[in-house]
Structure 1
Amino acid sequence: MDLRAGRFDGQMTDDAAAFSSSIEFDKRLFDADIKCNRAHTTMLIEQEIIPEESGNKILEALDKLENEGIEALDLNPSFEDIHMALEDYVTKQIGKEAGFMHTGKSRNDQVCTDVRLTLKWEIENTIANIKAFIETIVEMAKENTDTLFIAYTHLQHAQPTTFAHHLMAYANELRRDCERFMDTYKRVDMNPLGSAALTTTGFPINRQRTTELLGFSNVMDNSIDGVSSRDFAAETVFDYAMLSTTLGKISDEIVIWSTYEFRMVECSNQYSSTSSIMPQKKNPDIAELARGKSTIAYGELMTILSMIKGIPHSYNRDLQEVSPHVWNAIDNTNDILRIVHGMLATLTVNKDRTEELAGANFATATELADVMVREKNLPFRTAHQIVGRIVSDAISEGINTKDIDDDYVDRVAVEVTGEKLGLGEESVKRALDPLLNVKSRIVKGGCAPEAVMDSIEIMESFLKE
């Protein structure tokens, strides 16, 4: 039976019904739709808008459906959406009295309510998973505050740091991802139920009561906005796209670091594969797939923005097509989050190699220039020029950092400024030592072990909030 029969004396063709049906991706809304109908029906009973006996029959049928699960619904594409399938179930259970459930309510405000409820649960779940990942990173960082590592700019050797310092960069990026979700949650956590089709209803409904029953923070102030806004969905997907960016960056670095040329880390066998033809290979396939899949949320965001850009107020059927792109972005990003968490947690750091790289390729040159400024009151640009010449000459002469001494520095200083600096052997050696370089960076946010521990304490406070 067509629950909305009356306006038309015929039915859609099968292909038109299938084309317009959202029943497949509406399965996600099953729990929310039961809660929405339960809250609305409870309010209708309390407001004495529908007979209490009929309302209680509806509530009993909804409880029965919740216990039986979504399998109890007839999910035939002839039903446009899960709301109609649910109403059909209740109708089969109690008869025409099921029609009271739709009093003062439209599918327009019902679907918006369901989507917002479901998004709240999804965001809460993702926040918990991000925090769990941050906790893992923090524990890894605590164990690696003295593990020398090389930091890059332009993918070129820059300065020595520690693996803990690099890990805490990930933790802080993930924290901002988490905070974005927390902020977006405020705009998702608004109740559109009671907006009805677009102008509310003539029945004396109590929107504050359904807001309380559903656990929303507040009621949406405008009913047209209530049924037609999807900015909250776009904003949520943007948050997932940004999280994907963070996860893609981590994956990309694991791919690079695990190459023979870098040899800084090794992926666990659980997250690797071998070649079908080259038996010696150990490929970081999972990191590569995570990096590739991290782009999916971008496409979904652009699709959603394109859908909601050019449609008038209030509800239009185009909005139905937003939801599957939201769910795909969420599911894909959650999969990446879970995989990258496991992959990073099982990573093995080649500490001998990272220590070697931290002291190679003149990565400590900046500190030598800083020493000239601190100890000889030299303008930094002059010190920069001297050290740049030192590096250039050393490369030409085929010598490395360990071969540079006070005499070498003075020789170049004379060429550049006409005067010796006289830093002393000890100052030069200390400046060029990668471990001492790291330990000298005690400024807030720096790579010195105590600075990293301060950062860890701040992060642990955030995780406890």
Structure 2
Amino acid sequence: MTEKKNWSPRFESGLHQAIAHFNASISFDIELIEYDLDGSQAHAQMLAHTGIISQAEGEQLVAGLEQIRQEYHQGNFQPGVDAEDVHFAVERRLTEIVGDVGKKLHTARSRNDQVGTDTRLYLRDQIQQIRSQLRKFQTALLDIADQHIETLIPGYTHLQRAQPLSLAHHLLAYYQMAKRDWERLGDVSRRVNISPLGCGALAGTTFPIDRHYTAELLGFENIYANSLDGVSDRDFAIEFLSAASLIMVHLSRLAEEVILWSSQEFGFVTLKDSCATGSSIMPQKKNPDVPELVRGKTGRVFGHLQALLVIMKGLPLAYNKDLQEDKEGLFDSVKTVKASLEAMTILLSEGLEFRTQRLAQAVTEDFSNATDVADYLAARGVPFREAYNLVGKIVKTCIAEGKLLKDLSLEEWEQFHPGFAADIYEAISPRQVVAARNSYGGTGFTQVRKALLIAREQISHNRGV
């Protein structure tokens, strides 16, 4: 069984039905319809502007395309597999609306430059939406950080207790990651915002088109200088997927910490009912599904990046049907990143509560103030490496005796080294340990307050690009 052919009389019959379904992209590239209509309207205006078609014909085409937009919004334009793709579906419906003049729309244009234009318009729009979501995510981080400047939390390296931190400082680390994500997407957007429209199938066109005119109508900042490159380039999509993968890396790292923090072993946060689920068999359970799903969905975006790299690595110039495979992964990555950002923003804003008493207790249960003992001696003229080795011996002694550093008597301190005095207890108190780290970018409360002010200013002025 064969489908009706969409091609020239060069073909005597249509595609086999199974092949038609295999070949069709309408099931997913309908996502591009708004952008296809925008691009087609600009192309029609350019054809009229250059005299390739009449002004009246150009106006007919633009009006007909706008009618299709309204039909789609009303749910009355729902093309099936017989249309093959969104571009042919639009052209076919346009011809039904305006008659033979609809057949002039494709003058001086190929589906190769058409799909490239649509994809760039789509991605340009989605990048701006994701950047807006990143700002909301950053704001949620800052709102929590503002409340917890002087809340202490154990800091870890190798997942071992290292040094105590301001909780706000910990959260600001994720703010900085998101800031880089926001900046990175802005940089990617500049390379997305280049028009391939007018490159034709691969070699340009014999018609006197004005590519700069369509680029201006569509808000592109530049046009491709080489027609072969214009129709076959997917660097911009790979760059976006790379940036999207890094966003997911950062969300997943935070998700992992929330999962750990909400466990009974850590007990640093309580998940609120609005952002947690229960067990079907264990009534006591409260599961961190939101961060677990974000952690899991990260692999999808990684996979789409790898898939597109593999698609592109062996393609000769110019367009090849393989490039149809760029869209589903791109669309899914956009949706995954947007959904994950929204979920994590809600989780931060509404879904968890830090257990400040537990955190205050946690920073007193270990030897994470050992470095400060070494710094204490170094500030009194003891070479740091000598102080470091001595503190190692002190910690070893404490462990053997079941003590912490704070439990040592002043006499015991003095037996280890005559440089110790009564102020050692203040120097190794968790709050002082944090406050003392006042170097630029450090966890000291003064530095954290400055960092919060700078972050708020960056967001309010959209700085950082």
Q: 2:442 aligns with which of 417, 442, 446?
A: 446
- 1:119-152, Cα deviation, whole Å (9 max, x unpaired): 0001000000001110111121111111111111
CA distance in 2, matches of 1:93, 1:74: 15
Q: Which amino acid aligns with 2:29?
A: D
| Structure 1 segment 294-333 matched on structure 2, within 5 A | 294-333=298-337
Please name the residue that 1:422 is paired with: 419
Worse-superposed segment, 249-258 or 441-450: 441-450
RMSD: 1.3
Residue 425 (structure 2) pairs with residue 435 (structure 1): no
The answer to whether the 8 A contact 2:153-2:359 is kept is yes
**Structure 1 residue 261, shift from structure 2 partner:** 1.1
Please name the residue that 1:267 is paired with: 271
Residue 369 (structure 2) pairs with residue 364 (structure 1): yes
The answer to whether the 8 A contact 2:414-2:421 is kept is no
The answer to whether the 8 A contact 1:191-1:219 is kept is yes
The answer to whether the 8 A contact 1:14-1:78 is kept is no
Please name the residue that 1:416 is paired with: none
Q: 1:11 aligns with which of 14, 18, 22?
A: 14
Please name the residue that 1:282 is paired with: 286
CA distance in 2, matches of 1:407, 1:381: 23
The answer to whether the 8 A contact 1:38-1:59 is kept is yes
The answer to whether the 8 A contact 2:6-2:14 is kept is no
Please name the residue that 1:94 is paired with: 98
The answer to whether the 8 A contact 2:369-2:433 is kept is yes
CA distance in 1, matches of 2:364, 2:165: 10
CA distance in 2, matches of 1:319, 1:190: 18
Q: 2:40 aligns with which of 37, 41, 54?
A: 37
**Structure 1 residue 3, shift from structure 2 partner:** 4.9
CA distance in 1, matches of 2:343, 2:124: 23
Q: Which amino acid aligns with 2:365?
A: A
CA distance in 2, matches of 1:143, 1:172: 18
3-state SS of the aligned residue for 2:67?
helix
Please name the residue that 1:62 is paired with: 65
Please name the residue that 1:373 is paired with: 378
Please name the residue that 1:118 is paired with: 122
CA distance in 2, matches of 1:237, 1:406: 59
Q: Which amino acid aligns with 2:444?
A: A
The answer to whether the 8 A contact 1:73-1:85 is kept is no
CA distance in 2, matches of 1:394, 1:297: 48
CA distance in 1, matches of 2:61, 2:289: 52
Q: Which amino acid aligns with 1:42?
A: Q
Q: Which amino acid aligns with 2:304?
A: E
The answer to whether the 8 A contact 2:5-2:13 is kept is no
CA distance in 2, matches of 1:268, 1:280: 14
- 1:349-368, Cα deviation, whole Å (9 max, x unpaired): 11111111112211111111
CA distance in 1, matches of 2:317, 2:196: 15
Please name the residue that 1:415 is paired with: none
The answer to whether the 8 A contact 1:238-1:301 is kept is yes
Q: Which amino acid aligns with 1:21?
A: A
3-state SS of the aligned residue for 2:225?
coil
Residue 356 (structure 2) pairs with residue 351 (structure 1): yes
Q: Which amino acid aligns with 2:234?
A: R
Please name the residue that 2:230 is paired with: 226
- Aligned residue-pair number: 456
Q: 1:23 aligns with which of 21, 26, 32?
A: 26
Residue 401 (structure 2) pairs with residue 404 (structure 1): no
CA distance in 2, matches of 1:407, 1:373: 20
Q: TM-score, normalised by structure 2?
A: 0.96
**Structure 1 residue 5, shift from structure 2 partner:** 2.8
3-state SS of the aligned residue for 1:24?
helix
**Structure 1 residue 11, shift from structure 2 partner:** 0.6
CA distance in 2, matches of 1:72, 1:3: 22
CA distance in 1, matches of 2:418, 2:299: 53
The answer to whether the 8 A contact 1:151-1:160 is kept is yes
**Structure 1 residue 446, shift from structure 2 partner:** 1.1
Q: Please list every run of at least 4 consecutive aligned residues from structure 1 whose deviation after the TM superposition is greater than 4 angstroms.
A: none
Q: 1:176 aligns with which of 172, 177, 180?
A: 180
The answer to whether the 8 A contact 2:297-2:336 is kept is yes
**Structure 1 residue 20, shift from structure 2 partner:** 0.5
CA distance in 1, matches of 2:401, 2:80: 78
Worse-superposed segment, 271-280 or 84-93: 271-280
CA distance in 1, matches of 2:91, 2:5: 11
- In the alignment, structure 1 segments of 5+ residues that lack a partner are 413-419
3-state SS of the aligned residue for 1:102?
coil
